[in-house]
Amino acid sequence: MVLEKLEWSSLCFRFIFTLTNEFIQDTTNNISTMECYLSEVGLINKEYFTRSMYMGAIFGDIRVKQGSRKILTAKYVRMIFDFPPLLDMKENEIFDQQWCESVLNASLPEGVEISIWSAGQYERDLLLTAIHTKRLLPVLVVVLCAFSVISSMRCDFHLSKSILSLLGLLSAGCAIVSSFGLMYLFGFRLIQIALIIPFLVLSIGIDDMFIMISIWQKNLRISEGASIKELMRITFEESSTSICLTTLGNIIIFSFGTISLFPVIRSFCIFCVVSLIFVFIFQMTLFGAFLALDGNREIHRTTFAECYIFYIIGSIIALTMNFEVGLQLSSLVPYDSM
């Protein structure tokens, strides 16, 4: 796509297929009437065109004649070019980029500066924000892990829940990965603002984890000699109500955002709703299983060293294996798997 000899009449002066800039259109039609409808600030009655035009959004830093509203000078002029959108999104981005570059590279008279903004600037700004935010992701993960581990530590090693808290983070992380994979499977595009969803959902998963751990430890002190099945039954019975109400409230709140007119907000809320549902399922099933295993260790006063060693060995084996099919994001997209 080559842009040559850019002129107003060839780009945006047509009336049927493109919108026009009122100020330039009128001045191009009749230059002699320029002073007539520049003589007022605000709503200007143009006798030659029998209609009014608001000039406050066009000129900036103006100086008017003393005792009147006649404009003498203006340091800023705003020019709006409304182009018809192209059907192909890629071509639309290329045209937007080349248009901005052509305007910035244009030769200007001395003392004249140009600043531009386009619809594609939103995407570029979000992309830059995402790139800068990615640098903080490892720090946030370390902080969440450290907070969970330190909050679960006890003086008695057998009563400490540090490893269990890490498993709770792992359970919530698996839920987020599963929800994002499901959204990819149904063709939803991952937007840049969705990068904050994992930390938003992780905080809710950590809250559910601490609720279950707190109820378990309370019942363990009260019901001495109770079996693991009885302790798990009481733990789920007391924690399920609080977790269900919290999750249901969050889902309802984000569900209202799914009917928003803005596609970004709608997509963000859909990702949040699906992630919250998966986190609830994983915390009540996978983390519940981890809690039962840790409870068995706690009751029998054994250490977690054996389980931790098996976990390290399994992780090393999984990371060294080469999964060529099934774990690639491209295989989750329907049209790529055909």
Q: Which domain holds residue 96?
A: 8-104+117-121
At 253, give phi and psi (nearest 5°). -60, -50
Could you give the CA distance from residue 231 to residue 295 in angstroms, rounded to a whole number? Answer: 9
- Structural domains in the chain (count): 2
Could you give the CA distance from residue 25 to residue 27 in angstroms, rounded to a whole number? Answer: 6
Sorting pLDDT into bands at 50, 70 and 90, what band is 303? low
In this structure, are 100 and 145 located in the same domain? no
Choose the weakest-confidence range: 198-202, 211-215, 273-277: 198-202
Taking only the tens place, the pLDDT of each residue in 158-167 is 677 888 888 8
- This prediction has a pTM of 0.58
Sorting pLDDT into bands at 50, 70 and 90, what band is 248? very high
In this structure, are 83 and 210 located in the same domain? no
In this structure, are 59 and 147 located in the same domain? no
Say if 77 falls within a structural domain: yes
Could you give the CA distance from residue 116 to residue 173 in angstroms, rounded to a whole number? Answer: 42
* Residue showing tokens 């998963």: 205
Say if 152 falls within a structural domain: yes
In this structure, are 183 and 240 located in the same domain? yes
Say if 211 falls within a structural domain: yes
In this structure, are 290 and 202 located in the same domain? yes
* Contact predicate 237/312, CB 8 Å: no
Say if 112 falls within a structural domain: no
> In percent, how much of the chain has pLDDT > 70?
67
- Tokens, residue 226: 């109770």
Say if 157 falls within a structural domain: yes
The yes-or-no verdict on residue 216 having pLDDT over 80 is: yes
Give the pairing type, strands 51-54 and 43-46.
antiparallel
